[in-house]
Amino acid sequence: MSAFVWLTWRQHRWTIIGSAILVMAAAYGLLSAEVRKQTSIDSMPMSGFYGLMVQLSFGGVIGVFWGAPLIARELEERTYFVAWGQDVSPVKWLRGKALVLGVLAVVLGAVAGIGDGHVGDNKAWSAFEGHPAVQAGYALYGLALGVLIGLLSRHVVTAMAATLVMYTLSRTLLTVLLRDHYLPVSRSVARWDSTPVVPVGAVELGNGFIGKDLNPVGVPDVCATLSNPNSCMRSWGGAIGTYVEFQPVERIAAFRYIEFGLYVVLAAVLFALTFRLLRHGGGWKPSRSHRRITSEVEPVPASEPAAAQG
């Protein structure tokens, strides 16, 4: 294992050092922003804002700068003959490197998630991603995604771009579609004469009308066409009140660990796929299209060949 610690450090030290500096600066910015905040209406200093930017993109940074070039650079510069031509097999080589980089990514991710810039010790859904476990999960996922894309694309810049796109896309989709429903939503109901009570800090997910059994009922056609169906529903008689669905802020810790678990599982799946491809030699055949010299030497004919004129 010490062999891979040495090799990883020797080959990736500048990216590791760069990422570490970035993360420390971001963590300092976020923590100092929390400390400097005196009242609830104080605005966030710029350092906190930049810290948040780093926090938002940290998994992607790991994926683009650590994951994508890991195999893609070996394939593109054809040094895989050196890397995989020794007594260590390609699988052992990747396992060693992924382990070292993975541990470092988790540690740096945890540091990136220490502060959140504005709420401090208070719980808030708005600071969901400001948590060590969540950031560690993102970092691991980004690394796994980058490595797999690097193996498939065999080209560093392509792999980096594709990783950026895929990471952003998958994070956005998972956040929008899944995150609010990790646990069943809570529902607050009220009769017509009052409004449903939503606890402070909860995130509202939907509202509507309830029937006599306290379950949501649909809006009948006669009322659906109106701009404000409330009074119509009231006179229709099928509903006895209104409800609001929400996730209470107390659940944020559970949600963060579920998010962490989800991304760790995704990372594990991606790594398993990468190892499978590598073991079967399927992903790294030298491809004609990405060989650096041959693809550029041949000029593209601007018009029909000269034979057509003669």
Partner 1 sequence: MSVVAAEVWKWAVHDVSFELPPGSVTALVGANGSGKSTLLNVLAGHLPPESGHTSIAGRVAYVPQHKPMYKNFNVADVLQFGRRMNNVWDNERADEWLARFKVPRKLPIEDLSGGQRTHVTLALALGSRPDVLMLDEPLSELDPLARRKVMRELLTEVSDNGMTLIFSTHVVAEIGGVADRLLLLAGGRLLLDGDTDELLEEHVLYTGPRDSESPVEGPVVLAKHGKTQSQYLVRSGGTQIAEPWTARYVTLEELVVAHLERAA
* Residue 86 binds partner 1, judged by CB under 8 A: yes
* Residue 157 binds partner 1, judged by CB under 8 A: no
* Residue 207 binds partner 1, judged by CB under 8 A: no
- Residue tagged 């607050």 (tokens): 188
3-class state of residue 131 by DSSP: coil
Site string for partner 1, 229-268 (x = CB under 8 A): ----------------------------------------
Token duo for residue 296: 């550029």
Angle between helices 68-76 and 156-177 (to 10 degrees): 160
How far is the C-alpha of 198 from the C-alpha of 248, rounded, in Å? 8
Closest distance to partner 1 from the beta carbon of 260 (Å)? 34
- Residue tagged 């070996």 (tokens): 74
Closest distance to partner 1 from the beta carbon of 99 (Å)? 15
* Residue 7 binds partner 1, judged by CB under 8 A: yes
Closest distance to partner 1 from the beta carbon of 78 (Å)? 5
- Strands laid side by side in the 216-217 sheet: 186-191, 241-247, 203-210, 216-217
Q: Rule CB under 8 A: which of 264-293 touch partner 1? A: 281, 285
* Residue 9 binds partner 1, judged by CB under 8 A: no
Q: Please count the other Cβ atoms lying within 10 Å of the Cβ belonging to residue 81.
A: 8
Binders of partner 1: how many residues, by CB under 8 A? 19
In terms of phi and psi (left: phi > 0; alpha: psi -120 to 50; beta: otherwise), the region of 131 is: beta
Q: Which of 3, 169, 173, 269 binds partner 1 (CB under 8 A)?
A: 3
Q: Among residues 28 and 84, whose Cβ is nearest to partner 1?
A: 84
Q: Which of 21, 42, 79, 265 binds partner 1 (CB under 8 A)?
A: 79
Which residues make Cβ contacts (< 8 Å) with residue 209, sequence separation at least 6? 216, 217, 219, 233, 239, 241, 242, 243
* Residue 25 binds partner 1, judged by CB under 8 A: no
Residues that bind partner 1 (CB under 8 A): 2-3, 6-7, 10-11, 77-82, 84-88, 281, 285
